[in-house]
C-alpha cells in the first residue's frame, strides 16, 4: 500500500486553499461553515467532532464532505428563542445524584429546544449549504448524517463521545433543520448533564455545534484503534467490522469481525470472523436506517476483504502520525464507489483509556512496533 497511490482519492473532502475560520475576538463568527474550513484549533467554534473532521480533510484523509452549524449559530438560536435563560433556570441547583430530577429537567429542556424554529436567515443559510452539498455530490436531496459536536467532546482525560445524538440517512433541508435542533437538545440528556457535573464542567459555558455530512452508503463499517484496546499494545492496529452501517459495532449489538494488524508490516497477525446476526441498512422506502437480520449465508462471511483491512490500517497509521497519539477511529466502506477510493474516515478522536496511563503500567511489555517484531522473532513467530 503506497502512500502516493492513494493520495488522489484521499483528498475527496479537501479544498486546495482552506479559509481559516475566525477565532473568538477576531470578528463576527459565522453561524454555518464548511468542514474543510475547520482545523484542530476550531473546537470552540465547531466542537470536537467537526474540528477533527476538518483537520483530517486538510491532512489529506478521505472524509465525506459536509458543513456545520457552529457554536455561534447554536448560541444565537438559543438566545433568540430565550432558551438559554430557561435552561439555566431549570438546571440551577440541580443535583447530579438525583437522577429522577435530572431526567425531569432534561425532558423539559429538550422539549423546549426542539419546539423552537431557527431564525429565517439561519434556515436560509443551512438550506443553501445543503443545496450546494447536494450539487457537489451529484444527487438531489443528498442523504446526510447529522452529528452533534460539543466543545467538551473528544478531550484527553474525559470521554464525552456518544453522549450527544447522531441521526443517519436524513434527506431534505427541513429534516436537516429538525435534526439539528434534536442534536442541540441532546446536549441536555440526564446522562450528559450528570457526567459533566461529576467531571466539573460548567453547563453555562458549554456549547454545541452540529455537523452535516454526506452519508456513506456503507457496505461495511466499524471502528479502528491504533493501540490495542484490551492491553495497550502500541505495536498493532485493531479493526472491528460488520456489514452495513457502524451502529451495530459501536453500540455492541453484534460481535463484529476482529482483525489485529502489525503496525509496521501491515500484516494481519490475528483474525476472528464472527457470526454476525444483525446489521443496520437503509430502508429504501422510508430512507431511514434500520436494524435488519443478516442473511444466514452471510453471517459467517468475512465482512472486510484483506486488502481493505490493509488499507484501513495504513490510513490509521497516517492519522496517528498526524495527531502524534493513539487514535479511536470510525470508518465505512461505501458500496456506491469503486474499490480504491471507497473507504472513508467518519470520525477520529484520541484514545483515552490506555493513553492516560504510563507505558510502564501497560500489561504488554512490547511498547513499540520494533519491540514486538524482535520479541516475535525470538519466540519463533512469523511476523511478515
Which pLDDT value is given to residue 288? 76
Fold (topology level) of 218-378: D-amino Acid Aminotransferase; Chain A, domain 1 (3.30.470)
CA torsion through residues 9, 229, 290, 171, sign: negative
State the distance between the two ends of the chain, measured CA to CA, in whole angstroms. Answer: 15
Which pLDDT value is given to residue 375? 54
Question: Going by CATH, does the domain composed of 3-214 fall within 3.90.226.10?
Answer: no
Which pLDDT value is given to residue 196? 79
Which pLDDT value is given to residue 300? 97
Share of the chain above pLDDT 90, in %: 59
**CA 179 and chain centroid, separation:** 17
**Long-range interactions of 127-132: CB distance < 8 A, separation 24+:** 127/173, 127/177, 129/32, 129/34, 129/67, 129/212, 130/67, 130/173, 130/176, 130/212, 131/173
The residues with which 333 forms a beta bridge, in sequence order, are 220, 343
Which pLDDT value is given to residue 11? 38
Q: Which of the residues in the chain have pLDDT under 50?
A: 1-18, 154-159, 161-162, 358-360, 362-363, 365-366, 381-384
Which pLDDT value is given to residue 360? 43
DSSP letter, residue 240: E
Q: How does pLDDT run across 317-338, given as a tens digit for each residue? A: 999 999 999 999 999 999 888 8
Q: Would you say 311 and 343 are in contact if contact means Cβ atoms under 8 Å apart? A: yes
* All structural domains of the chain with their residue ranges: 3-214, 218-378
Q: Please state the length of the chain.
A: 384
Amino acid at each position: 500500500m503506497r502512500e502516493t497511490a492513494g493520495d488522489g482519492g484521499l483528498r475527496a473532502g479537501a479544498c486546495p486553499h482552506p479559509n481559516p475560520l475566525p477565532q473568538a475576538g477576531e470578528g463576527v463568527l459565522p453561524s454555518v461553515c464548511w468542514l474543510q474550513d475547520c482545523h484542530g484549533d476550531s473546537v470552540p467554534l465547531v466542537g470536537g467532532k467537526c474540528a477533527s473532521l476538518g483537520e483530517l480533510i486538510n491532512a489529506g484523509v478521505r472524509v465525506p464532505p459536509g458543513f456545520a452549524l457552529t457554536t455561534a449559530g447554536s448560541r444565537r438560536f438559543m438566545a433568540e428563542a430565550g432558551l438559554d435563560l430557561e435552561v439555566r433556570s431549570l438546571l440551577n441547583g440541580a443535583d447530579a445524584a438525583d437522577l429522577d430530577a435530572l431526567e425531569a429537567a432534561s425532558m423539559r429542556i429538550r422539549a423546549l429546544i426542539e419546539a423552537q424554529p431557527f431564525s429565517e436567515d439561519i434556515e436560509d443559510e443551512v438550506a443553501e449549504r445543503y443545496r450546494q452539498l447536494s450539487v457537489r455530490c451529484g444527487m438531489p436531496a443528498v442523504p446526510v448524517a447529522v452529528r452533534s459536536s460539543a466543545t467538551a467532546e473528544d478531550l484527553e482525560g474525559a470521554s464525552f463521545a456518544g453522549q450527544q445524538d447522531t441521526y443517519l440517512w436524513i434527506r431534505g433541508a427541513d429534516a436537516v433543520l429538525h435534526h439539528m435542533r434534536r442534536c442541540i437538545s441532546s446536549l441536555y440528556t440526564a446522562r450528559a448533564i450528570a457526567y459533566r457535573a461529576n467531571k466539573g464542567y460548567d453547563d453555562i459555558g458549554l456549547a454545541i455545534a452540529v455537523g452535516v455530512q454526506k452519508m456513506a452508503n456503507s457496505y461495511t463499517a466499524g471502528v479502528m484503534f491504533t493501540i490495542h484496546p484490551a492491553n495497550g499494545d502500541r505495536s498493532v492496529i485493531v479493526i472491528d467490522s460488520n456489514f452495513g452501517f457502524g451502529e451495530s459495532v459501536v453500540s455492541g449489538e453484534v460481535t463484529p469481525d476482529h482483525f489485529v494488524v502489525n503496525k509496521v508490516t501491515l500484516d494481519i497477525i490475528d483474525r476472528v470472523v464472527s457470526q454476525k446476526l444483525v446489521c443496520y441498512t437503509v430502508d429504501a422506502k422510508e430512507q431511514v436506517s434500520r436494524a435488519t437480520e443478516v442473511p444466514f449465508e452471510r453471517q459467517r462471511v468475512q465482512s472486510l476483504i484483506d486488502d481493505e483491512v490493509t488499507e484501513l490500517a495504513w490510513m490509521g497509521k497516517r492519522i496517528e502520525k498526524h495527531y502524534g497519539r493513539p487514535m479511536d477511529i470510525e470508518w465505512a466502506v461505501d458500496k456506491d464507489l469503486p474499490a480504491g477510493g471507497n473507504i472513508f474516515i467518519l470520525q477520529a478522536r484520541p484514545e483515552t483509556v490506555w493513553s492516560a496511563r504510563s507505558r510502564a503500567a501497560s500489561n504488554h511489555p512490547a511498547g513499540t512496533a520494533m519491540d514486538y517484531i524482535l520479541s516475535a522473532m525470538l519466540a519463533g513467530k512469523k511476523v511478515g
